[in-house]
Chain A
């Protein structure tokens, strides 16, 4: 399943500090949407509101509406835990659980929902998720070894395997390749393109080539100055943003003439 996400008049706060102001956009299913913009403009803040991870920070809150296939994610009786089970997240730094084996890492999210799982079920799911994350061939002989023993790129793909094992509707990636070499980066980019067949994919990146290579839609955020809220400046098809943007700020940023 892949879901359409609608942001309406979304304001995001850290206590009294307005970090992101008045975002209106529709994130399409079965597509990759890239968030780009200078550091501090609120890309991470915004992507974390999509799975309600923003509110785990003390004092952090959200105003406005966030609809997922029409359902209000911030509705009064919506459990954030349930939202996070439908929206997978991959972080900037690979974070497999160091105390778990590769296999247990893959199954960790799935086990939260399904405590009882037969051995064959577990094996099948591990293989499926690792194949889906293009990691199976590299780790199939050491599934019981700790996940922290893998290379950075492999760890990141393990985190992706962990996220897709629960079959979410949406996958969020916050600069998933910024700590990786070009070869691991290419592997993850290919993977993202495969993932959009099944999921809604949102990716934050500082890498313009990456955004133009893999994304279908691009959102450019900017900030007027320190202490000011980040704003969505332009949101359009990726070709349009990179070849013929409507806004001067976007043009300056994507062509590297920023500042």
Chain B
């Protein structure tokens, strides 16, 4: 028995649109592949060429403090930014009156438009001196917590300052994204909660936050991606040393990969520049892994997402 499939009708508009969409999709993959290939090929001379003075103990020993610095600074930023972004988004979407919410929305969007050099300058000139007394206090009173231990930096230019600057940088995009998700909470579910006798806050816990969960994770990953790759603000605030140091208030801080590339690249000769590109490849890999983890978290509870 042969079943003949009815021939689908092909419309010109559909064909054009399908092809456009296809090429848009392919071009993203192609760009990604080209960048990865570039990083990979350009990294090779760092391992085959003459020994580089900066990395005399081998590539991994060279890059590890930077990996640590990158991830550590970004995690600090995320720990600070995520609850704040959720709070701002909740306030704008569910508490503020409409006029004020709009104003606040604009202000948040404006923060996103400030270039990172400005954030860097602001971090050095304003934030660091401003925070230093707080750092002293934290060190004196909470110094038994390893994170706040050690000799407090005199300038205030510490890992925690970097984390805060990064948090402020990623806050607007995170808040804006989470706000959009919260605004899309179905009215039906909010009313279901209220009709059961939920207070406003209980309604948010029952309907809004669970519904926005994947959006919050996506926003956090976007923020993490941005802070992982952030160069200028970090390069300007930190005076780095190649160490692994969990204490966030001291003046010996590991640099981040991106800031290190920005600082070293102009003076890098020979295959030192290839070494820096190799660290860029590591950053690329970290970002990929972060995104994969995010996808996995989201898919784990997909059937409860409300999308069905």
Q: What is the interface of chain A, defined by CB distance below 8 A to chain B?
A: 51, 53, 56, 81-86, 88-89, 91, 93, 95-101, 108-109, 112-113, 145-146, 148-149, 159, 162-163, 166
CA distance A148 to B194 in the complex (A): 19
CA distance A145 to B301 in the complex (A): 11
CA distance A53 to B203 in the complex (A): 13
A56 touches B194 (CB 8 A): yes
Q: Assuming A93-B188, A99-B210, A112-B202, is B195 touching A51 (CB within 8 A)?
A: yes
B194 touches A159 (CB 8 A): no
- How far apart are A227's CB and chain B's nearest CB, in angstroms? 24
A148 touches B308 (CB 8 A): yes
Q: Assuming A91-B191, A149-B308, is B211 touching A98 (CB within 8 A)?
A: yes
Q: Is B213 an interface residue (CB 8 A)?
A: yes
- How far apart are A161's CB and chain B's nearest CB, in angstroms? 12
CA distance A83 to B194 in the complex (A): 11
Q: Assuming A97-B189, A97-B207, is B195 touching A53 (CB within 8 A)?
A: yes
CA distance A89 to B305 in the complex (A): 24
- How far apart are A123's CB and chain B's nearest CB, in angstroms? 20
A84 touches B197 (CB 8 A): yes
B196 touches A112 (CB 8 A): yes
Q: Could you list some 7 contacts between A and B, CB below 8 A?
A: A84-B194, A96-B192, A97-B207, A98-B307, A99-B213, A112-B198, A112-B202
- How far apart are A220's CB and chain B's nearest CB, in angstroms? 25
CA distance A154 to B145 in the complex (A): 53
Q: List the B side residues contacting A162 at CB < 8 Å.
A: 196
Task: State which residues 256-308 of B face A: CB under 8 Å.
Answer: 303-308
- How far apart are B96's CB and chain A's nearest CB, in angstroms? 12
Q: List the A side residues contacting B141 at CB < 8 Å.
A: none
B191 touches A148 (CB 8 A): no
Q: Assuming A91-B191, A93-B188, A108-B206, is B303 touching A146 (CB within 8 A)?
A: yes
Query: Out of B195, B197, B211, B304, which one reaches A146, CB within 8 Å?
Result: B304
B191 touches A84 (CB 8 A): no
A97 touches B192 (CB 8 A): yes
- How far apart are B123's CB and chain A's nearest CB, in angstroms? 39
Q: List the B side residues contacting A113 at CB < 8 Å.
A: 197
A81 touches B199 (CB 8 A): yes
- How far apart are B283's CB and chain A's nearest CB, in angstroms? 35
16 further contact pairs, Cβ within 8 A, besides A91-B195, A97-B207, A98-B305: A56-B191, A81-B197, A82-B197, A84-B194, A85-B196, A85-B197, A91-B188, A98-B306, A98-B307, A100-B210, A100-B304, A101-B304, A146-B304, A146-B308, A148-B308, A162-B196
Number of inter-chain CB pairs below 8 Å: 77
| Nearest chain B residue, comparing its CB with the CB of A89 | B195
Q: List the B side residues contacting A145 at CB < 8 Å.
A: 303
Q: Assuming A98-B308, A99-B213, A149-B308, is B192 touching A159 (CB within 8 A)?
A: yes
CA distance A5 to B184 in the complex (A): 36
CA distance A198 to B188 in the complex (A): 27
Q: List the B side residues contacting A100 at CB < 8 Å.
A: 210, 304
CA distance A89 to B191 in the complex (A): 10
Q: List the A side residues contacting B308 at CB < 8 Å.
A: 98, 146, 148-149
A95 touches B303 (CB 8 A): no
B192 touches A95 (CB 8 A): yes
Task: State which residues 165-195 of B face A: CB under 8 Å.
Answer: 186, 188-189, 191-195
B198 touches A81 (CB 8 A): yes
Query: Out of A82, A84, A101, A146, which one reaches B196, CB within 8 Å?
Result: A84
CA distance A148 to B213 in the complex (A): 17
CA distance A197 to B186 in the complex (A): 33
A99 touches B306 (CB 8 A): yes
Task: State which residues 186-245 of B face A: CB under 8 Å.
Answer: 186, 188-189, 191-199, 202, 206-207, 210-211, 213
Q: List the B side residues contacting A95 at CB < 8 Å.
A: 186, 188-189, 191-192
CA distance A108 to B194 in the complex (A): 11
| Nearest chain A residue, comparing its CB with the CB of B202 | A112
Q: List the B side residues contacting A91 at CB < 8 Å.
A: 188, 191-192, 195
Q: List the B side residues contacting A99 at CB < 8 Å.
A: 210-211, 213, 304-306
B211 touches A166 (CB 8 A): no
| Nearest chain A residue, comparing its CB with the CB of B199 | A81
CA distance A148 to B307 in the complex (A): 9
